[in-house]
Each structure stands twice: as structure tokens, then as C-alpha cells.
Amino acid sequence: MEKIDHYTDNRFALNQIWVSYGKLLTLCTDKYPFESGMLPSVLRQVEIKVLTNIFFRVAVVVPMAVRIFLVMILRNSLRKNEEYDSYRSTIYRFFNDLSVIVAIIEVFSQGIFSIVTIRFDYPQLYQYTFTVFVMTSSIYMFMRTFLLSALSNNDCEYIDNVSLFVKALCTLVYIWTVSKFHDTHLQFILDPPCHGYVPQGQAIVEYIVISSYLIFHLTHLIDIRDIRFLCYPRTCSGECEPVKPENFQPGHKYECCRSYELRQRQLLGQST
């Protein structure tokens, strides 16, 4: 077992350990002593080790706005699908719009329980937000997979089919394992042990949960690979100018805004 710096004096008569986080002190009841063969739990290490907790907070909180923006992009891209205007569009529209709300709740609940600590903040708040995250993340993964599978057709590219298959597989694995992980981590929340290690079976389940969650969201990069953003020119006062095609022609004042198109033509050996 690796040595944890913030472990201090033991109280063997009470089976307790003093744990210090800087100037903060708390007692830890050692009901679940470390045994040989245990593996580290990611979320328990986050709770116990300060540096790991900081990295986890940064990794979760910093991309929150980007994740919400990404969900909105996926919703809008789905609206432009040809099948969206079919006789089933009411169902699609409902789930498509609802997916944004579910994703926002998921992102904020994950952000809250990544910031809140069990021993020194609000364990009840951590418990509730963690439970909400488990529920909303499962719902969102199922909804996103359903929306893409319902709108898939023969014109989809091979990489889209791969993305859909990976999403479906990750969703099934995540929903199946996250319920087990939720129960074991809930025990840790209600009665935190003095170390961040769990039996091998519980650790493997947690690793599978985290891996399936990460892989699922990484497949969003495939879904947005054709998304492009238009940068509109602004005046010196900060107001957007009316977009006139003639201003973007060679020799005019916004020719530089055609840099991407110009570079593509140069690569193809075409004139501007």
C-alpha cells in the first residue's frame, strides 16, 4: 500500500486515524483496512489526495461550457437532417430538444460533485449530485444513441456506422456497470474508509464505467467532423457588417477572410 502523506497519528483503541488536509483535521474510522490485491479507485483517490482532486476539478469544470455548446451543435445538426421532417418528427423533436436539458443537468451535477468533498463540505450534496449524474448520464447516452440510430440510413458513411456501433456498445456497458458502481461508491460516501483502494472486482467495474463514458463522448468528434463556423467581419465599433459577397472577392477589403478557401485552391493548383 502506498504511503499517503496526510495520514497522521493512529488511535488504535478506537480504530481511528487522524486525517489532515492542510489545516483541516478529521477522524477516519478504519472499518475497511487495506488488504493485499486491492486496486485504486479513481473517485476515492480524488477524495483522499489533494493533487488528484485538483486535477479532477480542472478536468471536469473547465470544459463544461464546451460540452453544453457541443450538445447544442448536435441538436441543431439533427434538425437539418432530411428524416427530421418526416411523419416521426414530433418524437425526434421532443427527444432532440430534451437531450440538451438532460445534458445540461448532467454536466452541472458532475461539476458540483467534483468540487464538493465528502469529509469537509456537504456529503449529502455530493450524494445527491452523484446520483443525479449517474441517472442523467445514462439517459443522455441512451437518447443520443436512439436519435442517431433512428435517423441512420443507407447514405451514412462507414465512419458514422462505426460511431453509432461504438455509442450503442458503450451505452449498454455503461448502463449495466454504472448501477453496480453507484452502489459501491454510495457506501464510500456514507462511511468513508481511510484509504482509496477497493477489491479488484469493484475497481474493474469502475474502470469500465469511466472508459465507456469517455469513449462514448469522444465519438462526438466524429459527429461534428463536418461542422464549420463562419467568422463575420466586424467594424471598428464592434458591430457586424452586412455580409456582401463582393467584399470577399480577390482585391477587396475582406479578401483575407477567404484564407481557408484560398489555401485549398492553392493546394489544388487552382488560381484565386
Dump pLDDT digits (tens) for 231-243: 665 555 555 556 6
b/e string for 194-204 if b means 16 or more Cβ within 10 A?
A: bbbbbeeebbe
pLDDT in tens, 169-185: 999 999 999 999 988 88
Residue type, 94: F
| pLDDT category of residue 219 using cuts at 50, 70 and 90 | very high
Pick the residue with more confidence: 96 or 121? 96
Of the listed ranges 3-12, 94-103, 201-210, the one predicted with least confidence: 3-12
Residue 24 pLDDT > 80, yes or no? no
Taking a C-beta distance cutoff of 8 angstroms, is the pair 18, 9 a contact? Answer: yes
Neighbours of 99 (CB within 10 A): 22
**pLDDT attached to residue 159:** 86
Range of the domain at 249: 233-272
Helix (H) and strand (E) counts in the chain: 9, 5
Which residue is listed with cell 460533485?
113
Q: Give the mean pLDDT of the chain.
A: 77
Rounded CA separation 32/40 (Å):
14
Taking a C-beta distance cutoff of 8 angstroms, is the pair 123, 189 a contact? Answer: yes
For residue 26, tell me if it sits in a domain.
no
**pLDDT attached to residue 92:** 80
Domain count along the chain: 2
Q: Residues of the chain with pLDDT > 70: what percent?
A: 68
Q: Are residues 84 and 200 in the same domain?
A: yes
Q: Are residues 72 and 193 in the same domain?
A: yes
Mean pLDDT on 188-205 = 80
Rounded CA separation 94/170 (Å):
23
For residue 27, tell me if it sits in a domain.
no
Q: Are residues 256 and 217 in the same domain?
A: no
Among residues 196, 190, 183, which one has the least CA distance to residue 19? 196
pLDDT in tens, 104-115: 999 999 998 888
Q: Are residues 78 and 147 in the same domain?
A: yes
Q: Are residues 94 and 126 in the same domain?
A: yes
